[in-house]
Structure 1
Amino acid sequence: MDTVFLPDTWTYALRLPRDPRAARVARMTVRAVLSGHGRGEALDAVELLASELVTNAYRHTRGPASLRLTALADGRLRVGVWDSHPRIPAPFRESPRDRVPYVPAEAEQGRGLRLVQEYADSWGSLSVGDVGPLDRGAGKLLWFEVRQR
């Protein structure tokens, strides 16, 4: 009889209130989950990008946000952040090949989504009607993936 091993897949979801500490809670959650699953090779990039998306959700919406971390069978990590604002920002509304214009280092905002382009292997968005189980009646889901190196 052969032993069957299931791939190391898992999902964690966290609902975040509209609170200035939400990005810190997201970073701590990402660090705990990835460390606990031995996925430290992706920790820095995932922690940074998740924090950026949660920060944007806080800055540009009036409601809560949700963070979802998913390990896929092929070694990819997918991170999704849902928020209540319907507008999808670049680079998520464009093809992954389209680039957001360069943002100077001294700019006070606009660098976070550029980081997604630099560190994520893929990214995308789902609008209100497409969100499925995360649907809260409004808003969007922004996601990115990082491959295991």
Structure 2
Amino acid sequence: MPMPGPGPAPWEYTLYIPHDPRAVGICRRALRDILTTHHLPTLLEPAELLASELLGNAIRHTKGPAALKLRQSGPSFRLGAWDTDPTPPPTTYPRTHDEHGRGLRLVDAYADDWGWFQVSAASGAAGKYVWCELDAKSGPG
């Protein structure tokens, strides 16, 4: 019996965006194209929601540019938002009926895992990176 192949080759994209709320929609469309190209249709809706929340926070709460980073390696798909503010995301969630601040609650509910880390100035892009992962095993491999 033949052994299964190693699966799809890992890939990574980074979309750098200006500090402009319209960039969130542009990134959602690019994300949809990228996931469709890589045959991951089951990730389209949750990934769009998560990218919208992470990038929306980056644009809403910081003053500089941002980036959406996408990566698949093995069974996990990671997306994240980099921004120029090193301040950690909040560790508590607002009440469910509050007007703002529900984004990380959605990330926590939809992502299989998430976290953040500060990015040092030595890397050339100081700030923070908030990431989340989705299980990509359900896509063809």
Q: TM tier, shorter chain?
A: 0.7 to 0.9
Alignment match, 1:122: 113
Q: Does 1:144 align with 2:102?
A: no
One-letter identity of the residue aligned with 1:139: G
1:15-45 per-position Cα deviation (integer Å, ceiling 9, x unaligned): 0100110110121111111111110111111
- The two structures have a TM-score, normalised by structure 1, of 0.81
- Check whether the contact 2:93–2:104 (CA below 8 A) recurs between aligned residues: no
Which residue of structure 1 aligns with residue 102 of structure 2?
A: 111
- Do the aligned partners of residues 102 and 131 (structure 1) sit closer, same or farther apart at CA in structure 2, a change above 3 Å counting? farther
Q: Indicate the RMSD between aligned Cα atoms, in angstroms.
A: 2.3
The count of corresponding residues between Structure 1 and Structure 2 is 135
**For the structure 1 residues 82 and 101, does the alpha-carbon distance in structure 2 shift closer, same or farther, using more than 3 Å as the test?**
closer
> What code does the residue aligned with 1:90 have?
P
Instruction: Please state which structure has a larger fraction of its residues in strand.
Output: 2
1:31 matched to 2:32? The reply is yes
| Separation in structure 2 between the aligned mates of residue 31 and residue 86 of structure 1, nearest angstrom | 28
Q: Contact 2:94/2:101 (CA < 8 Å) preserved in 1?
A: no
Amino acid of the structure 2 residue aligned with 1:116: V
1:131 shift after superposition: 8.9
Following superposition, the deviation at residue 128 of structure 1 comes to 2.4
Kindly, what percent of the aligned residue pairs are identical? 41
* Distance in 2 between residues matched to 1:4 and 1:130, nearest whole Å: 43
* 1:56-100 per-position Cα deviation (integer Å, ceiling 9, x unaligned): 111111110011100112x21000210001111134xxxxxxxx4
Distance 1:20 1:128 in 2: 23
Match of 1:13 in 2: 14
1:94 match: none
Q: Which residues of structure 2 form unaligned runs of 5+?
A: none
Aligned AA (1:143)? W
TM score, norm. by length of structure 2: 0.85
